[in-house]
Amino acid sequence: MTGDDRNEPGRPPARSLFRRGAAGGRLPSGPSLTRLLREAYASPDDPHYWNRLEARIMAGVRGQTGRGGAEGWGAAFHAWARAGLAAACLAAVAGGVAAWNSRDMEARVAYEAVVDVPTPAVVQSDSRFINVSEREATGRYVFSH
Amino acid sequence: MSPALALIRAQTDPTHRPSRARAETPAPAAPAASFGPLEAADEQRLVASAQRGDAEAFGALVRAHQRRAYAVARAIVATHEDAEDAVQDGFLHAYRALSRFLPGQPFGAWLHRIVANAALDATRRRRVRDADSLSENLAAGWHDPAESSDLRTRLHAGLAALTERQRAVIVLHDVQGFRHGEIGRMLNIPEGTARSDLFHARLALRRSLRALHEVR
């Protein structure tokens, strides 16, 4: 048997099944060993066999299609999976931006709530003069001048 | 009529010999990519149709590749029945995975890897199920070999003494005509390992058969 990478199917069989080996014993020659192997591993020759095998395979394929194979919901799912993934990514980004803005707004409101305290004096002065009677007001005016 | 469907018709028409004759050529030593340039284009069209859900196109692919797929599976598994199951599983896996097949790559090589994986799975299942009957069934060919029974017995014994991988490598190379690199990709082993397995398998088989000759 040669060390060639590719077999040589057209090569005529050797005259003898055996050749002399390196150790002195007689080893079967390459082509004869190949011939024996080919006979042992021969594929079925009957065309009906291959028709039956094809029918069996295609029955399996059709069964798979019925259960949602390449033509069923699986294919539809695969077709929409990419668009769905893109939409989900967009929604996640939009959600993130909205959450960030909302957090920013809350922080600003909280800051303003702490910093912009209304001046109590104005309120007090207002409240002081709201309920004073006219007589009291006249008295205060007189005393003050 | 689309080119893909025309090809299907051509393949199912018994009077149309060229491509069908090529598809039905006995497996031994046929090149791995058995399609010529034009046929490769037709094959790509069939694959594209099958990817769009055309079961008839996939049927044409099955018809064109089942013999070669069987040969790959048969090299790996122990029995004809396991090879049949592996071929069917392989085609079903291929059908499910069609959306992942990239246009332009050789469909045959892609399919053979899938079928080889299905066959390796079948071998593992068989090993677990009934390891004892493995050697009985080895190389039980579809046809009885014309050789004398003692020669066949010796060959079977020699094949049984090989590791599963060595046996697959020698059959894929010497019987089916695949290259070392193709075998490596199918069996998920480096090319160098395939070469080494082939060398050791040939040596072991020759030694098994030599003993027979010495008896004679």
Report CA torsion sign: B179, B181, B183, B185: negative
Q: Are residues B107 and B154 in the same domain?
A: no
Residues of B in contact with A78 (CB under 8 A): 99
Q: Are residues B184 and B127 in the same domain?
A: no
Task: Name residue A27's beta-bridge partners.
Answer: A19
Q: Are residues B128 and B198 in the same domain?
A: no
Question: CA-CA distance, B163 to B75, in Å (whole number)?
Answer: 12
Question: CA-CA distance, A28 to A36, in Å (whole number)?
Answer: 10
* φ and ψ at residue A19, rounded to 5 degrees: -130, 165
Question: CA-CA distance, B141 to A39, in Å (whole number)?
Answer: 7
Cβ–Cβ below 8 Å for A21 and B210: yes
Q: Are residues B181 and B131 in the same domain?
A: no
All residues at 6 or more sequence positions from A132 whose CB lies less than 8 Å from its CB, including other chains: A140
- Domain range holding B159? 142-216
Q: Are residues B32 and B104 in the same domain?
A: yes
- C-alpha distances (whole Å) from B145 to each of A3, B162, B167 are 26, 20, 18
CA B55 to chain A, closest CA, distance in angstroms equals: 8
CA A54 to chain centre: 35
Q: Are residues B155 and B64 in the same domain?
A: no
Q: Are residues B179 and B91 in the same domain?
A: no
Read off the tokens for A119. Answer: 């001046």
Interface ipTM: 0.71
Residue B192's domain is classified under what CATH number?
Answer: 1.10.10.10
Q: Are residues B112 and B161 in the same domain?
A: no
Which of B137, B169, B184 is the C-terminal boundary of a domain? B137
Instruction: Tell me the residues of A at the B interface, defined by beta carbons under 8 Å apart.
Output: 1, 5-9, 17-18, 21, 25-28, 30, 33-34, 36-45, 47, 50, 53-54, 56-58, 60-62, 64-65, 69-71, 75, 78
Tally of CA atoms within 13 A in the half-sphere of B16 that contains its CB: 11
Q: Are residues B2 and B107 in the same domain?
A: yes
All residues at 6 or more sequence positions from B159 whose CB lies less than 8 Å from its CB, including other chains: A40, B138, B139, B167, B205
Q: Are residues B34 and B124 in the same domain?
A: yes
Cβ–Cβ below 8 Å for B99 and A39: no
Cβ–Cβ below 8 Å for B155 and A9: no
Q: Are residues B117 and B196 in the same domain?
A: no
Task: Name residue A20's beta-bridge partners.
Answer: A26
Q: pLDDT tens per residue, chain B (216 residues)?
A: 455 545 554 444 443 433 333 333 334 444 444 444 447 788 888 999 999 888 899 999 999 999 999 999 999 998 889 999 999 999 999 999 998 898 888 899 999 999 999 999 988 887 777 655 544 555 555 444 444 677 778 888 888 889 999 999 999 999 889 999 999 999 999 999 999 999 999 998 888 877 655 554
- C-alpha distances (whole Å) from B196 to each of B160, B174, B176 are 18, 14, 18
Q: Are residues B26 and B55 in the same domain?
A: yes
The number of domains in chain B is 2
Task: Tell me chain B's radius of gyration from C-alpha atoms.
Answer: 19
Q: What is the pTM of this model?
A: 0.59
Residues of B in contact with A7 (CB under 8 A): 28-29, 173-174, 177
